[in-house]
């Protein structure tokens, strides 16, 4: 019988299959890389477009606040020929923006402190202690987030009036606190649950009380979450218009949002647009400054639970 050294035909596909599979894998990697590049270009392009849509109106408002009324209508997109700082002085003094600014600082500052203090204590108890009704109270706070504030304006007006808190700074502070507590408790409860329990247990072993453990150990650890929820509450309370309009009709105790509306409505046909834009920029500066200063802490607080 005659034998040959030739390779069997059924082995050829196996020998040739290796390079084919490598070529297929290389082609798949190239396609995935190309698709990823296209996706990155598209996502970055959308982010640039969104940033342009957000930043341009802000820059235009700042630029317009330094123009006179004639330049606003004759050349709205041109740079001001000179900086008219008298617009800001007129809005600050003649339009009583200084009083509105002070009232807003008192109301927002007091309500922000009260919201963080009460919200952090309630969230800590709900997150760390098991007791009958824990879940009911937690979902009750969540239900408060879904309750439209417009439905509560009329009964809220009568409740505040019967308590003698209508047209008062402290009455508005209490309403702001009640309005902001549901989201604050919801946010901080989830944040306190991500904190390690071993630290609190070690403090209890060393003889620390519940209040001392909360104030000196757990609350400093929750600083990113407190800053994040504080910024969100600050933005909402600073820009709040509906509640002060209903509960604060005293002209001497108006907040900044009411002052801007009053400034626009009191102009009539004379149209002090330069002063109006100056007042608008004054109202925007604290909000932008707060976010720019604490933006790192806001991102840290939002991602702390996910990173654990």
In a domain, 1, yes or no: no
Place of tokens 């989830």: 190
Residue 235, CA distances (Å) to 38, 96, 210, 239, 278 in order: 36, 22, 32, 6, 20
Q: Which domain holds residue 174?
A: 86-307
CA 60, chain centre distance (Å): 23
- Is 109 inside any structural domain? yes
Q: Looking up tokens 């020998």, which residue turns up? A: 15
Same domain, 146 and 212: yes
- My answer on whether 293 and 156 are in the same domain is yes
State the angle between helix axes of 223-238 and 169-194 in degrees (0 to 180), rounded to the nearest 10: 150
The pLDDT score that the predictor gives to residue 247 is: 92
- One domain, residues 106 and 253: yes
pTM of the model: 0.77
Query: For the chain, give me the number of helices (H) and strands (E)?
Result: 14, 0
Same domain, 49 and 93: no
Name the residue among 263, 242, 239, 240 with its Cα closest to residue 251.
263
16 lies in a domain?
A: yes
Say what the pLDDT of residue 54 is.
85
Q: With left for phi above 0 and alpha for psi between -120 and 50, is residue 207 left, alpha or beta?
A: left
* Residue whose C-alpha is closest to residue 184's, from 192, 173, 196, 194: 192
Distance CA 10, CA 258 (A): 87
Tens-digit pLDDT string for the chain (308 aa): 444 444 444 444 444 445 555 556 666 666 666 666 767 888 888 888 988 898 898 899 999 989 988 888 888 888 888 888 888 888 888 778 888 989 999 999 999 999 999 999 999 999 988 889 999 999 999 888 888 888 888 899 999 999 999 999 999 999 999 999 999 999 999 889 888 888 888 888 888 888 888 988 899 888 888 988 998 899 889 989 899 999 998 888 889 888 888 777 766 556 678 888 888 888 888 888 888 887 777 666 666 544 44
Instruction: Give yes or no: residues 94 and 34 share one domain.
Output: no
In a shared domain, residues 19 and 107: no
- Report yes or no: 112 and 222 within 8 Å, Cβ to Cβ: no
User: Does 167 share its domain with 272?
Assistant: yes
Q: What is the distance between the alpha carbons of residues 203 and 212, in angstroms, rounded to a whole number? A: 9
């Amino acid at each position: 019988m005659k034998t040959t050294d030739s390779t069997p035909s059924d082995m050829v596909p196996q020998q040739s299959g290796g390079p084919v599979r490598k070529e297929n894998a290389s082609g798949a990697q190239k396609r995935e890389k190309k698709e990823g590049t296209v996706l990155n270009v598209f996502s970055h392009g959308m982010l640039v477009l969104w940033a342009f849509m957000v930043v341009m109106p802000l820059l235009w408002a700042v630029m317009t606040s330094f123009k006179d009324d004639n330049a606003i209508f004759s050349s709205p997109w041109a740079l001001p020929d000179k900086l008219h700082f008298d617009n800001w002085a007129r809005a600050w003094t003649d339009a009583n923006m200084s009083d509105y600014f002070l009232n807003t600082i008192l109301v927002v500052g007091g309500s922000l402190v009260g919201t963080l203090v009460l919200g952090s204590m309630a969230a800590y108890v709900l997150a760390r202690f098991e007791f009958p009704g824990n879940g009911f109270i937690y979902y009750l706070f969540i239900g408060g987030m879904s309750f439209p504030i417009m439905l509560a304006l009329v009964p809220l007006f009568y409740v505040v009036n019967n308590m003698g808190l209508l047209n008062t700074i402290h009455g508005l502070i209490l309403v702001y606190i009640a309005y902001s507590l549901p989201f604050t408790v919801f946010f901080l409860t989830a944040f306190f649950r991500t904190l390690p329990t071993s630290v609190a247990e070690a403090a209890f072993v060393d003889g620390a009380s519940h209040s001392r453990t909360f104030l000196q150990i757990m609350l400093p650890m929750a600083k990113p979450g407190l800053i994040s929820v504080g910024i969100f509450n600050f933005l909402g309370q600073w820009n709040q218009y509906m509640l002060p309009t209903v509960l604060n009709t005293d002209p001497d105790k108006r907040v900044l949002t009411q002052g801007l509306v009053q400034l626009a409505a009191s102009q009539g046909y004379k149209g002090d647009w330069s002063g109006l834009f100056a007042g608008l920029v004054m109202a925007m500066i604290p909000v932008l400054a707060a976010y720019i200063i604490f933006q790192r802490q806001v991102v840290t607080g939002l991602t702390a639970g996910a990173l654990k």
